[in-house]
Structure 1
Amino acid sequence: MLPKKNQPPAYFTRHGETFIGDSRDLLAAQPDGSVNLVMTSPPFALQRQKEYGNLAEREYVDWFLGFAKIVHQKLRDDGSFVVDFGGAYMKGTPTRSLYNFRVLIRMIDELGFHLAEEFYWFNPSKLPSPIEWVNKRKIRVKDSVNTVWWFSKTEWPKADVTKVLAPYSERMKKLIEDPEKFYTPKMRPSGHDIGKSFGKDNGGAIPPNLIQIPNTESNGLYLAGCKTVGIKGHPARFPAKLPEFFVKMLTDPGDLVVDIFGGSNTTGQVSEAEGRRWLTFEALPEYVAASSFRFLPKGTTPESMKDVYNQIVSGKSVDLEHYRAQAELSLTS
Structure 2
Amino acid sequence: MKTRVTEIFGIKYPIVQGGLAYLAYAELAAAVSNAGGLGQITAATLGTPEKLREEIRKVRTLTNHPFGVNFAIAKHDNGGNYQELLEVAIEEKVPAISLTGGNPQPVFDRIKGENIRTLVLVAGVRQAKKAEELGADAVMAVGQEGGGHLGRDDIGTMVLIPRVVDSVSIPVLASGGIGDGRGLLAGLSLGAEGIEMGTRFIATKECIQANEKYKQAIVHANETDTVIIKKTLGAPGRVLKSDFTLSIIKREQEGATYEDLKDVISGNANLNYIYNGNDVEGYGWAGQVIGLIKNIPTVQELFDGMVTTAEKGLSRLDSIIGEQASR
Instruction: Give the TM-score, by structure 1 length.
Output: 0.33
Higher fraction of helix: 2
Higher relative contact order, structure no. (Cα contacts within 8 Å, ≥ 6 residues apart): 1
Task: Please say which structure displays the higher CA radius of gyration.
Answer: 1
Instruction: Give the TM-score, by structure 2 length.
Output: 0.33
